[in-house]
Structure 1
């Protein structure tokens, strides 16, 4: 356990800043001792490189917060800042086969039913532009013959998940960012092995850093030996490629193509409050049934190694079978967001909900690390008279993220946004509700990593009765949360204000 905590701390992203500083000091000492008088020419060459890179970064189309972070990094660490930027950019490439699957096969396998889009335009005119955007640029259609059920806690979701998994007859696909041993894993392992032995196609995919780096591989070997197909997404390879930043942060379970679960809950005991880490852990999820599950099936198979279009199509008859009840309760549009393109679908969905809201916007997120665009959108909505409320954790899992969040609290509260901290503990839920008529539940945090670096997913709900359940849960959660006032922000110590401001500069790199 001590070794695990030690590895976790040295491999955490906030350690990168300190490591870079130490590397620069060591590099400087080595350069001075080995180059002698020639060091000055080497130093001038590095400064020239930094100047060129700063000009290049300034004119890039990347988010301004990311560009500013790198410009500051290069200015503060002139010896290694520019070299580090070059290294990251030159090694930031995924296998071409994965890129082809995401860009081409999605268009081929997911076709929008124009009759559904036309009906959405009639019933939800304020939402149809968002649905068109997700269909055209996220490449995931919106569906009508689908119903949804909301879970306000991880333990509620897990109970229903086990119940539904027991009914599986054809296939079970599972995808998680974090999997750790414990009660939850034991229950799932026994069930999955039993299902695999009965002939069900069981596939489990987990992230190479979120799960694989700090956990024993023994439990996964046992699953594999008993018929469960296990895959590690983007295995951890230190100092090989910057694509180690691009993690699979999605949490998806698909059962026989007609039922799917998606939300913030990983496969670890803290998510169902069997293990206490940061007080009471609150997470949320949705279960959807019907045609929209096909979106989740395709997005899972696209990240499954060497999945070809032909193999993905094998599951289409199950998805579209007439036996699936044609239940219509509003519209559902599951979508995925990939770091392989330049389209921040998750962030754009959030922005559209915020910008188009007329009465209220209700957000839950564990991390509130905002760029200028998102801050301005939230602030402008509040200035227009929209009731903008955000719930974040009172007990954080990362101290530096909490400090950055407080830096954002000051700016948001000054513009009229209401911030609440979930006093019972840690809220890991990722939801956004607009006017009680549209909502998103999924895996997307309000931070740079979720918007630009990770593989993420979620379900957009339009005019669905389940939105009322999500809103009611938000109200209950806000009632047990502490309202953060502008006065509280102002009373923070000077040290915390300065530290928060500095960390906020480098937030896109954390």
Structure 2
């Protein structure tokens, strides 16, 4: 056991895991104890009733077919099946969360001045209007913006340098929301600037995912940050209790400065993302800088997750007062995606599906993982069969070998339909980008896997005819040049890897 794993085991996270395992053991022990002292006929009746109730609940739930199949397979396991479903099968909101959800539903931020933009888009391009209209229908807090300039970053090192420069110029407030923060050159440099800004009176709010950082930060790290003047909190804080809420992690990456400048993309605040350290070969990532009106949406996304986590209703308007339009091309729609019931539809998945389905010339995709459901797979295949140039780039060097087996297991079906697949030969590609037909692009945090598409809180920016779309396409073309194309004749998947892939794919909706 490495020192890092030992430290994690002995931390509050290891203690919480032990408590949760004891809690789970207690539930099973209690069930078997009461079954043992009850009359046989009553025990049998209760078990039959629970089996029937569990199966009916799964069949009638509004969930993807893949999830239903996985839970039905688990439910038929004697005794353990329906107990596991009872404990983990469905996200049940507490009274506090229900109140928060009702309050969020009442917060409508769509601005009247975007109506003219939507009307103009409908006249110019009905297909593009349909993609935007669908997104706005799914995420009621998303909006359409012009008056925004953008800069695309093809590598983490460039984005890091720009972030530091903008942070040093902050005057009023800084919001940070990241899945992973790890002590090292990148975070230490940012923390130094944040400490200086806090001393100058700049308001700083920081939100990081507790599970995402449990192996990278001490359990009491928020206390240190608060002593430095940074209002820091953990999202979905780990405590010793069994809950499916831990599956809904905050995978977003958002930086907002003074409500005028915003960043997002795949880049976390850790040294591998800027290639200061090497973990899986060269780390290829990317992101985008927004300046102008569209930053309002990133500010709202942060404050909404802050509200979900803290239960505090913030004065949204006060953080928008100084937001000014700047000269820029095209339209921007920053949006959020997340688990039910916080989001009623899989926003991230549906945006990808709409872009792929509407494409006529090409669709390029980068994703570190390729574990997708039947619907999205069919949309990708159908686009290729229509003659669209569909290309997907995944890592050559994986961060998780088991996940790469499942990812590669998806290749044969896609290749047969004409999809071109590349693996990033220098190392690990972590960016989650889509570009299509020189008109649309998506830059954000949403992977092509069940975790991102179903379970996690995510965010992205939908770009339409912006100045950064040519740069995104150019980056894709550079990636193709240094990647290895996967050819059907060179694809050799052993029987045991195929079997492992099928088993993992079956239970992927629950993982």
TM-score (norm: length of structure 1): 0.90
Counterpart position of 1:423: 425
Q: 2:337 is matched with which residue?
A: 337
Q: By how many angstroms is 1:147 displaced?
A: 1.3
d(CA) in 2 for partners of 1:402, 1:80: 30
CA–CA separation in structure 2 for the residues paired with 1:307 and 1:74: 39
**CA separation in 2, counterparts of 1:111 and 1:302?**
21
Is 1:242 matched with 2:244? yes
Which residue of the partner structure matches residue 58 of structure 1?
59
Matching residue of 2:464: 462
- Kindly tell me: are residues 477 and 111 of structure 1, through their superposed partners in 2, closer, same or farther at Cα, counting changes over 3 Å? same
In terms of mean alpha carbon deviation, does 395-404 or 52-61 score higher?
A: 52-61
Measured in 1, the distance between the counterparts of 2:488 and 2:410 equals: 11
Deviations 1:345-380 (A, max 9, x none): 111100000000001110001111110101111111
Alpha-carbon distance in 2 for matches of 1:136, 1:181: 40
Deviation at 1:318, TM superposition (A): 1.7
342-351 vs 325-334, which moves further: 325-334
Q: Note closer, same or farther for the CA distance 1:153–1:263 as it changes in structure 2 (3 Å cut).
A: same
Tell me, yes or no, if structure 1 residue 154 matches structure 2 residue 156: yes
Distance in 1 of aligned mates of 2:218 and 2:175: 22
* 2:88 matches 1:84: no
The equivalent of 1:49 in structure 2 is 50
Q: Is the contact between residue 204 and residue 231 of structure 2 (CA under 8 Å) also seen in structure 1?
A: yes
CA 1:50–1:336 in 2, change beyond 3 Å: closer, same or farther? same
Distance 1:47 1:85 in 2: 15
Deviation at 1:434, TM superposition (A): 1.4
1:172 to 171, 174, 194: 174
- SS of residue in 2 equivalent to 1:351: helix
**Preserved CA contact (<8 Å) 1:301 1:307:** no
| 8 Å Cα contact 1:270-1:276 kept in structure 2 | yes
Cα displacement (A) at 1:42:
3.8
Residue 37 of structure 1 and its aligned partner are, at CA, apart by: 10
1:296: which partner in 2?
A: 298
Contact 1:47 1:78 (8 Å CA) reproduced:
no
Q: What is aligned with 2:276?
A: 274
Cα distance in 1 for partners of 2:33, 2:228 equals 58
Structure 1, 478-487 or 346-355: larger mean CA deviation: 478-487
C-alpha deviation, 1:213, in angstroms: 6.4
CA contact (8 A) 1:212 1:235 kept: no
Query: How many residues are matched?
Result: 494
Q: CA deviation at 1:166?
A: 0.9
User: 2: CA distance between counterparts of 1:376 and 1:430?
Assistant: 20
Structure 2 distance, partners of 1:287, 1:302, is 21
**CA-based RMSD:** 2.8
Q: State TM-score, norm by structure 2.
A: 0.90
Residue correspondence of structure 1 range 95-106 to structure 2 within 5 A: 95-105=97-107
Q: In the aligned structure 2, how far is the partner of 1:386 from the partner of 1:101?
A: 43
Structure-2 residue corresponding to 1:326: 326
The answer to whether the 8 Å contact 1:57/1:67 transfers is: yes
Q: Is the 8 A contact 1:101 1:302 kept in 2?
A: no
- Identify if the C-alpha distance between structure 1 residues 255 and 33 changes in structure 2 by more than 3 Å, giving closer, same or farther: closer
Does structure 1 conserve the Cα–Cα contact (< 8 Å) formed by 2:226 and 2:232?
Answer: yes
Please list the CA deviations of residues 3-61 of structure 1 after superposition, one character each: whole Å capped at 9, or x if unmatched.
5436879999xxx9xx99xx89x969995999399679646743552343223322322
Distance in 2 between the 1:8 and 1:39 partners? Answer: 45
2:320 matched to 1:316? Answer: yes
Q: Distance in 2 between matches of 1:188 and 1:229?
A: 15
- The DSSP-based 3-state class of the residue aligned with 2:223 is helix
Q: Which residue of 1 aligns with 2:129?
A: 128
Distance 2:317 2:380 in 1: 41
Contact 1:193 1:227 in 2 (8 A): yes
Give the match for residue 146 of structure 2.
144
- How much does 1:96 deviate? 2.6
Provide the rounded CA distance (Å) in 1 between the counterparts of 2:195 and 2:29.
Answer: 55
Give the corresponding residue for 2:118: 117
Q: Deviations over 1:58-111 (max 9, x none)?
A: 232211111111112223x33212111121246532623432343221x14655
Quick one: distance in 2 between partners of 1:197 and 1:101? 34
Question: Pick from 378, 381, 384: which aligns with 1:382?
Answer: 384
Q: 1:403 & 1:44 partners in 2: Cα distance?
A: 43
Runs of 4+ in 1 over 4 A off after TM superposition: 6-12, 26-34, 36-41, 108-112
Q: 2:311 aligns with which of 300, 306, 313?
A: 306
